[in-house]
Amino acid sequence: MKNSAPLLIEETNLSRAWASAFLHIIDNPGKEISPLLITLTGFTNGIPDEDRAIREALDNCLVANNKQKVHTVANTIFPSSLWRRSKYDRNRLFEMYLNALPRYKALASSKNRRGIYFERLIAFGSGPENGNQLEYIISQYKSRPGVRKSMFQAAIFDPARDHVPSAQLPFPCLQHVSFVPQDKDKTLTINAFYATQQIFEKAYGNYLGLCRLGDFMAHEMGLTLDRMNCFVGVAKLDTIPKSHHSLTALTNVARNALEATTDKQITGGI
């Protein structure tokens, strides 16, 4: 299969979902998948199942290439550590985050100067609830039964700020998220759309951050996170060559993990 063909990856493990997309690019011509759809289930108390070996190998490779680790990327979408520190009080979480926002931006000024994803979700700059889109969704859902599902969506991309002629624009790649409650099952699905996504340095952290955001919203809506869907217009590996020596160990770990899973599935079916 060419990388220019659509690719659907359905998994119950976040690490294997990422590894499948990564190896697809490594093993096929070109450096892009267009489009890519990741659909992920497999959560334990709202936390996505992962493969420790893949996660550690990726983090080691990211550090070796002066890139942010998975957890740091995930925090740009949802600050899980701050959520715990707020003792799971969402109003306190929002307050603490906005108070700390100048410091977060200063920690990575070149990456965060145009904004951070969670900032856009809770302080978009316009709209109800003073631009806090997550609070609006939660409060509307809890206010009455039968709220239209098209209401449960939040924008990241803002034409007023983001339609600029820059040759490279690192933010925002994530354009939009939506939440789909299934009241009968008391579950929640989170959907996300990326115009582009960097498979090596961002994608794993993106998936993890989206799952954490989905778990937060499910918690506040009285539901359980059931699925994360991520649609990517163009998933690419263009900041590092496929043949780069630092990718060798990561590629081997990812391949071994997927092959071991396939062997178990075959054995179980016999």
Q: What is the CATH number of the domain that holds 123?
A: 3.30.572
pLDDT band (50, 70, 90) for residue 88: very high
Look at residue 248 in the predicted model and tell me its pLDDT.
Answer: 97
Look at residue 2 in the predicted model and tell me its pLDDT.
Answer: 55
Residue 115 backbone dihedrals phi, psi, to 5 degrees: 135, 170
Residue 199 backbone dihedrals phi, psi, to 5 degrees: -65, -40
Give 71-82 pLDDT, tens digit per residue. 999 999 999 999
Is the pLDDT confidence value at 163 over 90?
Answer: no
Number of domains in the chain: 1
Instruction: State which H helix or E strand residue 101 sits in.
Output: helix 90-107
Is the pLDDT confidence value at 5 over 80?
Answer: no
1 in a domain, yes or no?
Answer: no
166 in a domain, yes or no?
Answer: no
Burial (0-12, 13-18, 19+ Cβ within 10 Å), 131: middle
Scored b (16 or more CB within 10 A) or e, 72-108 reads bbbbbbbbbebbeebeeebeebbebbeeebeebbeee
Look at residue 200 in the predicted model and tell me its pLDDT.
Answer: 97
Look at residue 267 in the predicted model and tell me its pLDDT.
Answer: 36
Pairing of strands 224-236, 187-198: parallel
2 in a domain, yes or no?
Answer: no
Decide: helix, strand or coil at residue 185: coil
Is the pLDDT confidence value at 257 over 80?
Answer: yes
Look at residue 170 in the predicted model and tell me its pLDDT.
Answer: 75
CB 79 within 8 A of CB 92: no
Decide: helix, strand or coil at residue 130: helix
Look at residue 269 in the predicted model and tell me its pLDDT.
Answer: 33
164 in a domain, yes or no?
Answer: no
83 in a domain, yes or no?
Answer: yes
Average pLDDT of 41-65?
Answer: 97
Look at residue 263 in the predicted model and tell me its pLDDT.
Answer: 56
- Which pair of structure tokens corresponds to residue 188? 């929640």
Average pLDDT of 53-69?
Answer: 97
- Which pair of structure tokens corresponds to residue 172? 């925002």
Look at residue 3 in the predicted model and tell me its pLDDT.
Answer: 62
What residue numbers bound the domain in which 138 lies? Answer: 7-158+171-269
pLDDT band (50, 70, 90) for residue 268: very low
pTM of model > 0.85? yes
Q: Give the percent of the chain with pLDDT over 90.
A: 77
CB 16 within 8 A of CB 54: yes
Count of Cβ atoms closer than 10 Å to residue 5 Cβ: 11
Look at residue 262 in the predicted model and tell me its pLDDT.
Answer: 66
257 in a domain, yes or no?
Answer: yes
Count of Cβ atoms closer than 10 Å to residue 266 Cβ: 9
- Closest by Cα among 233, 230, 222, 253 to 38: 230
Mean pLDDT computed over every residue of the chain: 92
pLDDT band (50, 70, 90) for residue 133: very high
Is the pLDDT confidence value at 61 over 60?
Answer: yes
CA distance 52 to 134: 31
Look at residue 146 in the predicted model and tell me its pLDDT.
Answer: 80
CA distance 203 to 201: 6
260 in a domain, yes or no?
Answer: yes
207 in a domain, yes or no?
Answer: yes
Which of 79-93, 163-177, 208-222, 238-252 is predicted with the least confidence, judged by mean pLDDT? Answer: 163-177
The interaxial angle of helices 247-269 and 14-27, nearest 10 deg, is: 110
CA distance 270 to 254: 25
Which of 43-52, 102-111, 142-151, 224-233 is predicted with the least confidence, judged by mean pLDDT? Answer: 102-111
CA distance 79 to 191: 18
Is the pLDDT confidence value at 266 over 90?
Answer: no
pLDDT band (50, 70, 90) for residue 186: very high
